[in-house]
Structure 1
Amino acid sequence: MPSCLIESPQKPIQGQSLYHTCLSVLDRLALVNGFQQFLDSPVQKTQLLNTDPVTKLWNLCQLGTPLYTLFNALDPKEPLTLEYNHNLNQANNAKAIVYHFLVSCRKELDFAEEDLFGITDIFLDDTNGFVKVVNTITKILQILQDRGVISAKSPNRNSDPNAPKDTRDKIVLELLETERKYVQDMELLQASTKEHKIYIPYNILTKFFYVFIQSYMRELQIQKILSPDTVHYLFANLNALVDFQRRFLIQLEDIAEKPAQDQQLGLLFVQTEDAFIVYEPYCSNYYAAQDLVKEKAAELQKLDHVLSPTHQLLSMLIKPIQRICKYPLLMSSLLKSTNPSWQSYPQLIQGSEAIRRVAEKVNETQRKQENLQLVQDLKKRMDDWKGPPIDSHGALLLQEKLMVTVNDLDREHLILLFEKAILICKELKEGSKNRLTKTNTIMKKKRRASIQAKGTISVNRITHILNKSTASGGKYYSSSNSNSVQQFTLKFRNEEQLKQWEAVIDKTRMNIQSTSSSTPLLPTPSQSTSDKTSFIDSLDDDDDDESTKKFIRPIASSSSRLSELANIPLSLLLSSTSTSTSTSTSSASSGSSYFPPSLLSPVTLTGSQDTLKVKLTYNEGVYCIVTPHQIKFSDLMERVEKKIKIVANLKPNAVLRLKYRDEDGDHITISSDDDVQMAFESRGQNTVNLFVTL
């Protein structure tokens, strides 16, 4: 793994969180002469979860006078004397005391700027600044220890007195340790000087995401590699996210110190649910940040010794997204391993539900932002778009590359589900190059293939959704005249994906039915009577396979029928054009819909878990089918014959032979179940290439 050279102002406290660092500082301050009086009396009222050592130390520092006591313990030449200005209020007097403390540290102790903090770092409610305060106090305590003024020995408060006893303890420990990996040793990489350099392996840095990424962010600014605005666009509200994460860890550490039955972890998540909103702007900005990293890759190469911009930096930026998705899993495991009779159990249920809502909200925000970018990308890549503006279809809800089956022909298309329509597209090849996929490198993004719209289906024209993976048998049509209806089938990778699409489509249909009128979508001027191919036929037509074009079925040339169809959006034609006009008349008279019922096709959703895409080469044409991994030879041949005989217009009694190419380049005949498995084992990724002959 690569190592990273980062400059640090001081030696960090290894393995300690801010919570335990402050705990150690308080223990050592108790040894300073005259300091015990501040520790014995509360400095201000605190809430239940604010009795942690970080809050206690912070409150002491905001008084100002404890800092005088600490400084005078060094026996300086010019001790600090407490003088109140009666013209100032208590808060401003405290700030004046802190100011004189900082001046004396600079003068008497010769502290550099990076060893000190600013006055606002004490009084602002921001842990990013308070970490600097803790560093300064720790440095003074170290001087007292080196001079023998206080004892060098301090209690090891960071070690767990009891090892995990059961599964629940292990889960709590995992939650705590993984949380520490984000925020512990915040001082490690926060400043940059030329005096101290630390070599840190990259695999260690990934454990301290917030520490490292904040340092990286500052290095970009210090070296002026990127403008301040660009840095902001790249890291969004990272500082606010770090501040929240520190506070969350502080409370988590405090809870973990208590006995298992008294650990109110559920309450912590309930109380911080609203504060977790800080994740939303960061996560919604992630894809924009990702694009910015790619755009500024050349400039970011100046810090390539720290992080590779196109790999390591991107993997670091995604960590908060991964973390927010991890919380519900940890809470679910914790809930299962907790005794239901404990008083804290109901709170744990509430906490689990709270963080689940947080994760869902963040995911939804991120998904919406991603979809906005996808739509903008779609507009740029759309080839010869003649339909209505894409924005008129509403917000993009889902998008995926899926296998679409029409008339027993399988084609891979890009399916985009909008609020008002389903857009079916395909990526076009660029010359002889293969179409670009999600696996392409980021540097190829600017050369992504153009997209061609193959059809549009208005959501309010979908009458039924049939889940074929759970259907008991038979097909479900929207018309009693099943011969007049054509279906298209969407095939998904797994049941989870299928259910997601089914639920969203159904919800979208219900929303439209409850809020929209029955006024139909009118065709655009570009949609004229010169269109000679139905929507179904356009899906059958694969631009990549020239040999299939001769099998396209044209619309019937009846002048009266063609005139009627010209007033209907071509993209909605899901049935054959030979349907009798009487059906159209009855529908129009009802006034409920502009389109005849026979034109409203059900969308069939099919799960394709453990399936393979099989490319069949026949007479220089390539045709696709989808099969299970474990398919018998007889079943495979049945599918092959059904596909090839339809597209090639072969006689029913034509005998087809199937072959595959082995690693030596030889064509091997497939004639048994074992041969099928041998052919499938020769596949590339999830695609098998087979050859069909007569």
Structure 2
Amino acid sequence: MAIQSQSTVSLPTSVTQSTQSLLNRKVSTEDSLYHICLTIQKRLELLPQIRPYLNLAHASSELLSERQALLLSQKQQLSQQHHRSVGSAMSGNSGAAGVKNGLDRRISSLSASSFNEDPEASSISVEETVVTFSMGILPISMDCDPVTQLSQLFQQGSPLCIIFNAVKPQYKLPVVSSDDLKICKKSIYDFILACKKYFTFSDEELFTISDVFSNDTEHFIKVLDVVKTLMDSAPQVLPQIPVEHIKWSNTDRGKVVREFIETERKYVYDLEILNQYRNQLLQRGIINSEELYMLFPNLSDIIDFQRRFLISMEINGQVDPSKQRIGALFMHSKHFFKLYEPWSIGQNAAIDFISSSFDKMAGSDFVIGNKLELQSFLLKPVQRLCKYPLLLKELLQQAKDSANYKELELAWEISKSIARSINENQRRTENHEVVKKLYDRVVNWKGYRIAKFGELLYFDKVAISTGNGNESEHEFEVYLFEKIIILFSELVQKKGNSISLKKKASSASTITLQHMSGSGNNLNSHGSSGDSKLDLRGRIMIVNLNQVSPIDNRSLSIIWESPKEQGNFVLKFKNEETRDNWCSSLQSLLRQIRSESLKSSNSDRSSFSSNTYYPHYSMNSINSSQNRRISDVLPKQHTHQSFENEYRSISENYRTSIPESTLLVRISYQNDFYTVLVEVDSGIDNMLQIVKRKLTHVGNISKIKYQDEDGDYVMLESEDDWNVVKDMLRESSERILNVWAHA
């Protein structure tokens, strides 16, 4: 009799269902690996000759659970010692402890401090702490999980032969009980050969000996599929037993736990669907390996982890709420949630790829046959990670009197941190695309280099005022980068292809800005097309910010100070959450700048307003036809200070005497100063030749640098560099260029 070995464990009848029904399918205990193993275990107990092996498997599984608890305890103790947060050390030799001591370790092994991921903090890796098929620490009333117990049963070899003999008594296999690994493997080998010979399993449908001893859930399921198929072929010997109905608690906490477990089952089921679709693409060779990873990064590892996570949740759902260890589960799982990082980063790219290439990925026999449904499946991992904080918050509210409240509280913090990390990865990916578009949208960058702004943090349409109650607000597109806040006004196309400002501010208000600001990805929702041209209207350097503080419900007050000027302005956002994100980011940047300043100059913020003169360029108000800006340039080397002091001595009469078609280039070389006149229309080669000719007597000049508006010293060596310099001077109405020459 030939038996089809279609998987009956991980993904029952999924191929025959439509994609829509898969998305909406209600998942029950029959789809849970935990309950499937419980049911198989009960069916096997009907065979008297296999019961001793089940008892032995239970004992070995219990030892593995204790070992996992011990490893977690040791890792935490070592981490605490590394960070000197806890002075007590764990007893070094607990291997001979009995079950009672093991249970005590479960209670204390994860205390109110989370795992530290520093590899130097412990010689035990997080992966080494997973020795069972469940995550975390079992509740005190549970000895082991049924999945690990069945795995230990199959590794004995003899039980597989007993199952085969019960199903096919006419082809009996020898049953040799031994703890010798070679004999166990020989029994497994006999079982595999018999299945292939008498049940016509193909090599692809069968498992290998190494699969039996693997700690991977995928390999275990392959073994379980074959065993279950054999058992189902002999219902008269091993009758079907319905999965036991769970009696959920009707308390508020019980309802939250039920929702947690049922939604987790559905999530794991959806991952199985996604994995089956990936395997279909892989087997057909439809897309290459890079595209496959882009669509399903770390999917195999994620499924393996989430199966274990669900097994632990199922176990906790079976015990009294006072004994649940859901918090410890999250503390153990913290490291494994990092598997999702490439998923969150590449999600937008995956969706775009599906939109353009799904036609070649479709097939009538594929488990997923619709573009929109595939996109929905790909969104589920990120959605699930963002759901955990909500579920844990509800659970926390119902567990205030629980002995494990601290664990749950830490689990909630871990889940929020994971969700923030996911959102941050997605925001950075989206912002990267925004910056690329922004480069082309701005009509005139006025000498600024977007590559020097640092990372784009936020961007949004923001109403800005000076805080004067008599002054009206004006809306700008504001971009917050790591080093600068920048303001733009949208331009509209007029007839004759001329461009004008879409909205001009009145000349009554004056705001001086020093740093560019990023948006919060809300521009489109506020009416911007995303492709319209922009006019740079103002900027403020982060280094010039003095104070950032929230006011009202959704406004942010910013006080700035430069060597020559000071002022304040108010940003009004669309909602309080956006305001808080900007406020937190700006305050973090300020702390970082002040910390770096103290380290580099051994002085406090007063050094920014010292008597030393720094070049300062200003423009008119952002509300006038010409933008107002402040460039607070801090020289990197003390030797430049004398040059800056001499720069002050140039009289206004001398400045105005410079011809309009000419620039005065002032050269600093080893504390000496030289001046040359260079035509504005001349090229970089001509300018460099004039400078080097002036310094012929000092030898060969190899480098010439200028100081840009961010205070950085930039090599002047290409035509593009020269054009940036001229734009910078033209924008600030300056006729004098300061350069530093190096031999």
Question: Which category of TM-score, normalised to the shorter sequence, fits these structures?
Answer: 0.5 to 0.7
How far residue 230 of structure 1 moved from its aligned partner, in angstroms, is: 0.8
Of 490-499 and 109-118, more deviation after overlay is shown by: 109-118
SS at match of 1:457: strand
Of 285-294 and 21-30, more deviation after overlay is shown by: 285-294
1:31 corresponds to: 46
2:480 corresponds to: 417
How far residue 478 of structure 1 moved from its aligned partner, in angstroms, is: 5.5
Q: 1:488 to 1:310 in 2, by over 3 A?
A: farther
Tell me if structure 1 keeps the 8 A contact 2:487–2:538.
yes
Instruction: From 246, 250, 257, give the equivalent of 1:160.
Output: 246
Instruction: From 94, 100, 117, give the equivalent of 2:190.
Output: 100
* Letter in structure 2 aligned against 1:345: Y
Alignment of 1:510-525 (within 5 A): 510-516=591-597
Please tell me the root mean square deviation across aligned C-alpha atoms, in Å.
Answer: 4.5
How far residue 181 of structure 1 moved from its aligned partner, in angstroms, is: 0.8
Q: 1:35 to 1:491 in 2, by over 3 A?
A: same
**1:47 counterpart = 2:65:** yes
User: Using the alignment, how far apart are the partners of 2:28 and 2:252 within structure 1?
Assistant: 30
Alignment of 1:133-282 (within 5 A): 133-145=223-235, 148-152=236-240, 154=241, 156-157=243-244, 159-161=245-247, 163-183=248-268, 208-282=269-343
Q: 1:91 to 1:412 in 2, by over 3 A?
A: farther
2:462 corresponds to: 402
Equivalent pairs counted in the alignment come to 500
Of 65-74 and 487-496, more deviation after overlay is shown by: 487-496
1:75 corresponds to: 168
Tell me if structure 2 keeps the 8 A contact 1:405–1:411.
no
Q: 1:460 to 1:134 in 2, by over 3 A?
A: same
Report % sequence identity. 30
How far residue 377 of structure 1 moved from its aligned partner, in angstroms, is: 4.8
User: Using the alignment, how far apart are the partners of 1:561 and 1:513 within structure 2?
Assistant: 36
SS at match of 1:69: helix
SS at match of 1:164: coil
User: Using the alignment, how far apart are the partners of 2:493 and 2:192 within structure 1?
Assistant: 66
How far residue 310 of structure 1 moved from its aligned partner, in angstroms, is: 5.4
How far residue 560 of structure 1 moved from its aligned partner, in angstroms, is: 8.6
Instruction: Provide, for residues 295-346 of structure 1, a one-character-per-residue CA deviation record: whole Å limited to 9, x for no partner.
Output: 4244345579865765332222121111111111111111111241x32223
User: Using the alignment, how far apart are the partners of 1:478 and 1:286 within structure 2?
Assistant: 39
Alignment of 1:458-607 (within 5 A): 458-465=541-548, 467-469=550-552, 488-516=569-597, 535-537=622-624
2:697 corresponds to: none
Q: 1:472 to 1:507 in 2, by over 3 A?
A: closer
Alignment of 1:338-417 (within 5 A): 338-340=399-401, 342-379=402-439, 385=445, 387-405=447-465, 408=472, 410-413=474-477, 415-417=478-480
Tell me if structure 2 keeps the 8 A contact 1:27–1:155.
no
2:379 corresponds to: 318
2:34 corresponds to: 19
Instruction: Provide, for residues 393-451 of structure 1, a one-character-per-residue CA deviation record: whole Å limited to 9, x for no partner.
Output: 222222333344577362341x322221123345666899999x97989xxx9x95566
User: Using the alignment, how far apart are the partners of 2:209 and 2:455 within structure 1?
Assistant: 48
Tell me if structure 2 keeps the 8 A contact 1:5–1:305.
no
Tell me if structure 2 keeps the 8 A contact 1:420–1:459.
yes
How far residue 376 of structure 1 moved from its aligned partner, in angstroms, is: 4.4
1:63 corresponds to: 156
Instruction: Provide, for residues 152-186 of structure 1, a one-character-per-residue CA deviation record: whole Å limited to 9, x for no partner.
Output: 4x2642x113x432111111111111111112xxx
User: Using the alignment, how far apart are the partners of 1:166 and 1:563 within structure 2?
Assistant: 87
User: Using the alignment, how far apart are the partners of 1:472 and 1:233 within structure 2?
Assistant: 40
* Letter in structure 1 aligned against 2:340: Y
**1:127 counterpart = 2:217:** yes
Segments of 5+ residues of structure 2 without an aligned counterpart are: 1-16, 67-136, 139-143, 503-520, 602-606, 609-614, 629-651, 665-707, 710-743
User: Using the alignment, how far apart are the partners of 1:511 and 1:72 within structure 2?
Assistant: 71
How far residue 533 of structure 1 moved from its aligned partner, in angstroms, is: 6.3
Tell me if structure 2 keeps the 8 A contact 1:284–1:370.
no
Of 306-315 and 48-57, more deviation after overlay is shown by: 306-315
How far residue 280 of structure 1 moved from its aligned partner, in angstroms, is: 2.2
Instruction: Provide, for residues 83-112 of structure 1, a one-character-per-residue CA deviation record: whole Å limited to 9, x for no partner.
Output: 799xxx955654444333222112101224
**1:117 counterpart = 2:207:** yes
User: Using the alignment, how far apart are the partners of 2:333 and 2:304 within structure 1?
Assistant: 13
User: Using the alignment, how far apart are the partners of 2:233 and 2:569 within structure 1?
Assistant: 77
How far residue 65 of structure 1 moved from its aligned partner, in angstroms, is: 2.3
How far residue 17 of structure 1 moved from its aligned partner, in angstroms, is: 0.4
SS at match of 2:49: coil
Q: 1:450 to 1:47 in 2, by over 3 A?
A: farther
Instruction: Provide, for residues 489-520 of structure 1, a one-character-per-residue CA deviation record: whole Å limited to 9, x for no partner.
Output: 43211112112211211221221122146999
* Letter in structure 1 aligned against 2:49: G
